[in-house]
Amino acid sequence: MQIDANTMKTGLLGHPVGHSKSPEMLNAAYRREGLPFVYLAFDVAPGDLESAVTGLRVLGFKGWNVTIPHKVAIMDHLDDIEESARAIGAVNTVISEGGRLIGTNTDGAGYLRSLVSETGMDPVGQRVVLLGAGGAARAVGYALARAGVERITVANRTESRAEALASHLGRWTKTSGIGLSRVEDAIREASLLIQTTSVGMHPDSSACPVDPGCLHGELLVSDLVYHPRETRLLKEAHRRGARVHGGMGMLVHQGALAFQRWTGQTPPVATMWDALEESLKETES
C-alpha cells in the first residue's frame, strides 16, 4: 500500500484499541480493491474525545469507527445522527460528507447479516434472550426487534439496566428485563441466545456467562466474542446439541458496511474475513 499526500484517511477511536483487528481487516479490503485509503487506530482517552474529533475533522478524515467507551459520548460532537443510530442510542461509524460529520450505527445490521448468512436463521418469530445491556446489546436488540422476533428478554447483572433496555426495545416487539438469577428459565424457553458481554474473551477464555446446564438442543447460541473464535459458551452449547454462531461475522459485516459508506463501493467481504482470521491465528499462536 502506497501512502502519499492523496491517501484518504479512515480509522478507529477507542480506549484502548491495541487489541483491535479492524486495521488489518480494513486495510486488506482497501488493498484488494486498489483504493487509495488507509485505516489507523487511535487510543483516545474520554477526556480527549472532543479534541480528537476536531482533529480528524481538520485533517480531512473520510470517516472513522467508534468503539468503547465513546459510542454514546461522540454523539455530542457530530453534526447529524442517522435515525437508526438515534434509535439505538449509540454511534459506531462516522462519515464525513461535505464537511459535515454524520453518525450512524452498523453494528446491528452487521450482526443480522452475519446471523442470517452463517446460520440461515429467519429472525421472524424467534424467542430471544439477550445477555448484557450495553451498546452492543442495544444495537443487536434493535436490529432483531425491527426484523420481527417474537420477543426479547434482556438479562443483565444489574436488573434495572436490563429493564431500561427492555423498555426501550418494547416499542418494536414484546420485551422483558430480568436479572441473571432468572436467566436459566428464560433460556430454556428461548430459541436464540445472544451473548453480548466480554465474558469469555481472551485472556479469561475459561469463563462462561451462564450455567451450561440450561443450554439445549433447540437453541441457537450466538456469542459476539471473537477472540477466542470458539468461546467456552459455544463449546458447551455444541456439546448439548445446540447450533452455534461466533462473533467474527459481526465484526466483518459491520466493518464492511462502514467500508461501503466511506468508499461508495461494494466491500470485499471474503477478503476481510480472511484477513481477520489470519490475524486471530497469529494472536493465538
The predicted-structure confidence for 103-133, as pLDDT tens digits, reads as follows 999 999 999 999 999 999 999 999 999 999 9
* pLDDT score for 285: 63
- Residue 22 marked as a ligand binder: yes
* pLDDT score for 283: 77
Using an 8 Å Cβ cutoff, are 237 and 244 in contact?
A: yes
Domain ranges within the chain, ordered by starting residue: 8-105+249-284, 108-246
- Residue 51 marked as a ligand binder: no
Using an 8 Å Cβ cutoff, are 61 and 140 in contact?
A: no
Q: What is the CATH number of domain 108-246?
A: 3.40.50.720
Check if 281 is active-site. no
In tens, the pLDDT along 219-277 reads 999 999 998 999 999 999 999 999 999 999 999 999 999 999 999 999 999 999 999 99
- Residue 12 marked as a ligand binder: no
Which of 62, 71, 174, 281 is flagged as catalytic?
Answer: 71
Using an 8 Å Cβ cutoff, are 155 and 161 in contact?
A: no
In tens, the pLDDT along 153-212 reads 999 999 999 999 999 999 999 999 999 999 999 999 999 999 999 999 988 899 999 999
Q: Provide the sign of the torsion angle of the four alpha carbons 75, 76, 80, 83, taken in this order.
A: positive
CATH of the structural domain 8-105+249-284, one choice from 3.40.109.10, 3.40.50.10860, 1.20.1250.20, 3.30.200.20: 3.40.50.10860
What pTM, to 2 d.p., does this model score?
0.94
